Structure 1
Amino acid sequence: MEYRLTIVVPVYNEEDNLLRVEAEFLKYFKTAVAKSKVLFVNDGSKDNSQHIIEEICSRNSDFEFISFVENRGLSAAIKAGFDNTDTELVGYIDSDLQTAPEDFNILIKEIGTYDLVTGVRADRKDSFVKNMSSKIANGIRRSFTHDGMDDTGCPLKIIKTDYAQRIPMFKGLHRFLPAMILLQNGKVKQVPVRHFPRIAGEAKFGLWNRLLGPLMDCFAYLWMKKKYINYNIGKSSRG
């Protein structure tokens, strides 16, 4: 049975979470609606993450990895995962497991007529400051993009691979994935998913990343929207 879904898992200094990632995905594979595999993207980790990733991949044929020479950031890791996907669908989840691999089954049931399905974190298990800063950032972004999404920062998404590989990613654009699908005249949908507290490792984003950074990225998105090239071929002599 061929794989239908590749799930990209960006990793940056997550040595304390990776064995949990392996265990949770092995559970998910047993109930997966579509045959799935994991693609770790090691974003230049300085801890023992790479060694653990290689051990996981050596004992599980459903796990693969690519590793950056140096840290390039979350958007670059996601872009590299998309570019190295060879299945019909590509998913994305963070390695901190604040969302559950099993919830890919919820998303994949909705993907049929849509080109991106993203989770919305129900009953978020984060601090008050983190929740409020994310809520404000989502409101600012939504006013710029008009994408109708309540929680683009949710690290649980499924995208049709041909759409994902056409996204012109730049630093910070991982927050704008639904908007970038809409630029391609694609269809997007959001569905509620579970959310859990981080139990190991350290968060990589602070107040700056959630508020001021995304505000600057909104202006970059507006520039890209104005310059974005989109076309449809009506006729062709090619077979």
Structure 2
Amino acid sequence: MRISVVLPAHNEAGNIGRLVEETYAVLPRSLLHEVIVVDDCSEDGTRDEVLALRPSYRSLRYLRHGSRAGQSAALRTGILAAASPVIAMMDGDAQNDPADIPNLVAKLGEPGSDGPALVGGLRADRKDTGSKRLASRAANWIRDAVLKDDCPDTGCGIKVYWRQAFMRLPFFTTMHRYLPVLFLTYGYRVEYVPVNDRPRVAGKSKYSNLGRALIGVYDLLGVTWLRRRTAVPPVAEDSGAERLVSERETA
């Protein structure tokens, strides 16, 4: 399975170029189909950094939003444009390690199988500040108590999943924080793999603990409602599928 790597970025000059180069360096060509950087209306040198690399990497794509829409919107823009059936996402701040991607892909089930449709990273040794690590542990505990999704590290930005499965999910502007529970809600399996975590070396985080907490409470209520109101029964019978396949083959 060849993959499309999607990198949402906002004001990540000093990070995004290094991450793109590293991704191409560590991922084999047999695995990597393309890298898509989605610039969420950056005001720094993010655009110039990515475009300077285009002559070196023919499969590097750069998409830019006309107005700022947030990380989830940037992620969705990249996935809509992706040509591969498997998506690998990383944060544009280069704290995720692209060398972990093959291990995540190896755990992913084949499309259409009952294997995991999403494999998320689990940061074993986080490099963030103590206050962020504490806030993250508290948030994970609260989320699990409410959603019961058994997700040990929902904030980890590196994940791989089936593009087709993602496209079935409802979109909202912070959905990237709830991908594991959304996949579960829609009947897919989810697994986790330990991954590397690296300190930010340029720029600054776009989130504060207080701001994320306030948005998180609002979103948690919405996702809880959505999960309770969603029913995705398995298809027990499809008597017309064989005839339609036969007609396509003979057309």
Which residue of 227, 235, 238 maps to 1:235? 238
Task: Give 1:159 deviation, angstroms.
Answer: 0.5
Task: Give 1:152 deviation, angstroms.
Answer: 0.7
Corresponding residue for residue 161 of structure 1? 163
Which residue identity does 1:7 align to in structure 2?
V
Corresponding residue for residue 247 of structure 2? none
Flag the 1:135–1:200 CA change in 2: closer, same or farther, 3 A.
same
Corresponding residue for residue 93 of structure 1? 90
1:117-159, Cα deviation, whole Å (9 max, x unpaired): 0001111111110100111111111122211111011010000
Which residue identity does 1:168 align to in structure 2?
P
How many residue pairs are counted as aligned between the two chains?
A: 236
Is the CA contact (8 Å cut-off) linking 2:16 and 2:94 kept in structure 1?
Answer: no
Correspondence 1:66 to 2:63: yes
Corresponding residue for residue 21 of structure 1? 19
Is the CA contact (8 Å cut-off) linking 2:155 and 2:177 kept in structure 1?
Answer: yes
Task: Give 1:58 deviation, angstroms.
Answer: 3.6
Task: Give 1:226 deviation, angstroms.
Answer: 3.0
> Runs ≥4 in structure 1, deviation > 6 angstroms?
none
Corresponding residue for residue 107 of structure 1? 104
Paired residue secondary structure (1:10): strand
Correspondence 1:4 to 2:14: no
Flag the 1:46–1:229 CA change in 2: closer, same or farther, 3 A.
farther
1:35-94, Cα deviation, whole Å (9 max, x unpaired): 342111111111121222222234311211211001101111112222222212001101
Larger radius of gyration between Structure 1 and Structure 2: 2
Instruction: Name structure 1 gaps, 5 residues minimum.
Output: none
Corresponding residue for residue 128 of structure 2? 126
Which residue identity does 1:98 align to in structure 2?
Q
Corresponding residue for residue 228 of structure 2? 226
TM-score with structure 2 setting the length: 0.88
Paired residue secondary structure (1:7): strand
Is the CA contact (8 Å cut-off) linking 1:141 and 1:214 kept in structure 2?
Answer: no
Instruction: Name structure 2 gaps, 5 residues minimum.
Output: 110-114, 245-251
Paired residue secondary structure (1:76): helix
Is the CA contact (8 Å cut-off) linking 2:27 and 2:102 kept in structure 1?
Answer: no
Which residue identity does 1:15 align to in structure 2?
A
TM-score with structure 1 setting the length: 0.92
Flag the 1:219–1:33 CA change in 2: closer, same or farther, 3 A.
farther
Corresponding residue for residue 42 of structure 2? 45
Correspondence 1:143 to 2:141: no
Task: Give 1:22 deviation, angstroms.
Answer: 2.5
Paired residue secondary structure (1:16): coil
